[in-house]
Structure 1
Amino acid sequence: MWDHNRFAASRPAIERVVESPYVRGAVTGIGVVTAIAGLAELASVVSRRRPRADSTHVES
């Protein structure tokens, strides 16, 4: 994905910035932090979920 970016290739100034290992690392780091935050939020929602009182499950 980093090697074949048509948008960056069409603009030389952007291409130089996008090819920087620092920019690539920053973008990757932001993506990892976002993914971890999303998983933490999902885990929080799932752990707080309670069974509904009007469920159709009948115990025998």
Structure 2
Amino acid sequence: MPKIKWYLVRRWLYGVAAAAFAIAVYYRLIALEATPLWLALILAAFNTRPPATPDETADN
């Protein structure tokens, strides 16, 4: 079974969450003024940075 690179999964989930958030703003479920705050929160929650060096594990 191949080892899953979790930062790639988190990056994918961040993209999906950001798109869902944009749809929620479009349908006025979330205020436009709150957009930067919520997108920063989503980015921080998924921590989309890859490992700093190739030998670091991506198991986080």
> Does TM-score exceed 0.5, indicating one fold?
no
TM-score by length of 2: 0.39
Which protein is bigger by CA-based radius of gyration? 1
Higher relative contact order (CA 8 A, sep 6+): 2
So what's the TM-score if we normalise by structure 1?
Answer: 0.39
More helix by share: 1
